[in-house]
Structure 1
Amino acid sequence: MKLIHPQLLLTYIAVCETGSFTRAAERIHNSQSTISQQINRLESILGSTLLIRTSQKVALTEYGELVLRYAHRIIDLNNSMVDSFNAKNEQAIIKIGVPDDLAVDVTKAIMKFQQNYNILFEFTSGLSNDLYQSYLAGQYDVILVKQPIMGNAYAYRREPLLWLDSASSPTFHQSTIPLVLFPTGALYRDHILSSMDELGYSTKINYCSSNLAAIMTASSVGFGVTLLPEKCKTADHVVIEELQSLAPAHDFYLALYINDVHNMILSKIANELVALFQLQNNRTFHLI
């Protein structure tokens, strides 16, 4: 097999485009003698005369015109391949937002993508409403959020919620029931307050935090009643069966949003999270 070094083709293109060995040497920063040697080498490999040398200008033979077309195609393919790999080697930035209780699981799930691709993950955990509004504003590529409606999610599932109290220092049967809440605007807060009002309970807010771990701890040690995802129940909690029956929180969803389903890496991450959290694909999904 005869292999032609790309430098021979680059030299040949330079000679053809400039019409001169001298100008070709200036273009590719080489000596005129080297240019001549490389053209001779190319003609020897191909076994054909490619150029007609005259005192005025270099002219192409019929074979020379054919080789010029091939030379351009080969160099273009080479450049395309290099550009493609350079693009893959550039570090992609993927912004992900999830609620606090899912942060650990999601972090573990995306680790394989950091190993296989050159990615910088900008990871945020926080309140679902805040994450969703930021996603709509274009600040995240992927989010997992809790919400009372399915919306335009890529995938979703119902999110089981439990009314919880302290097992060692229960507060539910106090005349004024203390509450442990997330801040105003947080997802579960409105359901807690409206349910208590509708059931006629007297309540007071004893503890408020945007931190899930703090809410879990406060409710488990006796600060008051709260409503949390099923997985947040600890051995120090007790489920308030009366509220589970009278004020069930069935209409909450864990929803996955992705801003570009045509992005290969984002789609793979989304599908990984669908499998991890056993989500159901939303057939009505469309890009916002």
Structure 2
Amino acid sequence: METPRYLIILWRSKWLLLVGLVVATLGGLLAGFTLVDGQVVPRSEQAYRASTTVLVTSQTQPMYQAVIPGQEVVEGQTLATDVDLTQKAILYAYMVSGLEMRDGVADQIGQLSDTEDLTALRRTTQPGGDESFPGRYVLPIIDVVGASTDPDRAEQISATATDLFLTQVAAEQEAAGIPEAERVVMSVLDESGAVAEEGSNPMIPVLVTFLGIFLLFVAAAFLIAGAKGSRERKRAARDAAAIDEDEPVDESPTESPRMRRGRSSALPPDPVERADDREPTTVG
């Protein structure tokens, strides 16, 4: 079986590729790591996320009640209507992610840096699901999420925001004079510790830089091979032209019968001896 041409080119350029391998390794290490106080530390910082899960319920729809009892209807008064808390959960998520809540968290634990964030989202998956790939559930559950390069700081942001939000909800209900039986009830279901986010691995820039530099050397190997092949073809064409010029050329082509007849007719006739030029004959 014939060896593919690209493998032949790569094998002939093995020394160039070896140099590229060394340069790509050094470039990847420089892109991913740096020296700080004599220690090698990654350039990209690992990000962490911590979340607190909050359940939104009401007094009229308790978690463990299967049947809602009937109510006495008063003439001239409509029946009470339960609010769809699954839709309100979206509004609560926006409130937690808002500027007012962010300022309240900063007042308690310090100003949030550029690498820190506070957000909230309504759950649409089962407990082990990832909200980056939403499910089909519509749940009255929100996650209060804190993000930071420091895992302890991420947990602090999430817990502080949750406490502030629950306190704010209770204060707003009290200020509005909402009866106890009609108030929204919020309870914390879970407080997850900080987990490392995907995509912030310090090895990712190392691999990306390594592959980018090495592929440049591979491309250079093919370009050099193409240039050499082009020069060899041009040299072969010049050598062939020079050989054709050195060969003797027969400039007398083969004559056809017509050409020979024409040339013989063009020649002058043979001279004829005249009678006066003949010698006299001696008579006995």
Give the shorter-chain TM-score range. under 0.3
Q: Which has the larger radius of gyration?
A: 2
Structure with higher strand content: 1
